[in-house]
């Protein structure tokens, strides 16, 4: 293990593994890997679009809305 004077791990192995992970995603080796990368990229784009869309919505939530969602409370 690479430890510095404080006994902490050096960030170099972590950065190297992240770089290898990103490199494998950018250069997929098989058609299946390429398809997986395309699907994951599409999902990431969909999540970002959803975040942007829902972040711009101003929805007021009150007790009546929560009661309608959850239904009547048990006695």
Domain residue ranges of the chain, discontinuous segments joined by +: 11-70
At 6-61, the pLDDT tens digits run: 555 566 888 888 888 888 878 878 888 888 888 999 999 999 999 998 888 877 78
3-state secondary structure 9-41: ECHHHHHHHHHHHHHHHHCCCCHHHHHHHHHHH
End-to-end CA distance of the chain: 60
Whether the model clears a pTM of 0.95, i.e. scores above it, the answer is: no
């Amino acid at each position: 293990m690479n430890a510095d004077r404080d006994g902490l791990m050096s960030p170099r192995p972590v950065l190297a593994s992240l770089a290898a992970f990103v490199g494998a995603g950018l250069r997929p080796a098989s058609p299946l890997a390429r398809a997986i990368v395309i699907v994951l990229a599409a999902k990431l784009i969909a999540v970002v679009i959803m975040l942007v869309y829902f972040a711009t919505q101003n929805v007021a939530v009150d007790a009546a809305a929560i009661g309608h969602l959850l239904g009547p409370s048990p006695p």
